[in-house]
Amino acid sequence: MRHDPQGGDGEMAAAWAYCAAQARTADHGRWLCSLFAPEAARRDLWALLAFNAEIARTREVVREPMLGQIRLQWWREAIAEAYGGRARAHQVMAPLADAIARRRPPRECFETLLDGRLRDLDDEPFATLANLEAYAQATSATLSLLMLDVLGIDDGAAREAAAAIGTAWALVGLVRATPHLAARRQLMLPGDLMGDINPESLFTGRPDSRLADVLRAVVDRASALLVEARRHRHKVPAPALPALLPARLLDRRIAGIRRADHQMFDQPQEAPSATDPILLWWAVRTGRF
């Protein structure tokens, strides 16, 4: 696909629009935060979020682990080509390659994301909470760091805060997705927390009452990570905020989980709050994440 750097031709403009729609649908919270980025960076963030959505749903769109590996390998090769100056004719990859050509984020971050998603193809639960956190770091903290790269931020405090927030984002997302994962007979909660809880109780939709303690431990770790991130709040440059704003959304989500006493199977799927944009606007206005 040939295009100018600004995506002025019809094909490229349609691809940028596709990425924006994918980011808004599949990763609404981070998409909302991206709206507070400078206009020049917004489309690149959407291409990045759309790419992440594509690789994150690999487990859902394949029937066998081998097919998932092939799918992720396709993306790995496409990323390699992008760093070689070539863009595959794909609605996500073409805009992402354009962003890579201009922003030059570290290629190894994409490799880390793809390696992390290979773990999704494994049915074995994580052995420990530390193992789960390492997965969250690979798949979500790395994305937060790439968002900083797209924003042109190379600041140690911002990167430490972003990594902690990204990890917490994945942990809370996992807790909220527990019923959805269980319906697919997928268990990602760590064995050291699950103990002798029978996974079948989750898979049948009638979880052991002790599951609340497991989810509480994961949420507590996410909360601790937010505390760590906010130790840097007076050192972080304002332009980094779009990558750090998910922390404000996490406050609201964690509060909701705690109000429900971690009984996720009894809760309806939570829709985005109409007041989230106001919450984020105020965070940007006051420089707080």
Nearest to 182 by CA among 210, 197, 198, 204: 204
DSSP 123: -
How many CA atoms, within 13 angstroms, populate the side-chain half-sphere of residue 280? 24
CATH among 3.40.50.620, 1.10.10.10, 1.10.600.10, 3.60.10.10 for 123-289? 1.10.600.10
Cα dihedral 184, 188, 190, 194, rounded to 10, equals -20
d(CA 86, CA 266): 48
The pLDDT value given to residue 11: 87
Backbone angles phi, psi at 75, to 5 degrees: -70, -35
Tens of pLDDT along 130-148?
Answer: 999 999 999 999 999 999 9
Mean pLDDT score across all residues of the chain: 94
The pLDDT value given to residue 203: 94
d(CA 75, CA 217): 34
Return the residue matching tokens 């064995």. Answer: 191
d(CA 78, CA 226): 34
Amino acid at 239: P
Nearest to 52 by CA among 109, 129, 2: 109
Using an 8 Å Cβ cutoff, are 79 and 110 in contact?
yes
Angstrom CA distances, 204 to 85, 182, 184, 208, stand at 49, 8, 10, 11
Q: Which part of the chain has CATH 1.10.600.10?
A: 123-289
d(CA 124, CA 40): 42
Residue numbers of the chain with a pLDDT score lower than 50: 1-7
Task: Identify the H or E element spanning 243.
Answer: helix 241-244
Q: How many Cβ atoms from other residues are within 10 Å of residue 160's Cβ?
A: 16
pTM of the predicted protein model = 0.94
Q: What would the two tokens of residue 195 be?
A: 């103990």
d(CA 25, CA 43): 15
Using an 8 Å Cβ cutoff, are 95 and 89 in contact?
no
Task: Identify the H or E element spanning 81.
Answer: helix 65-83
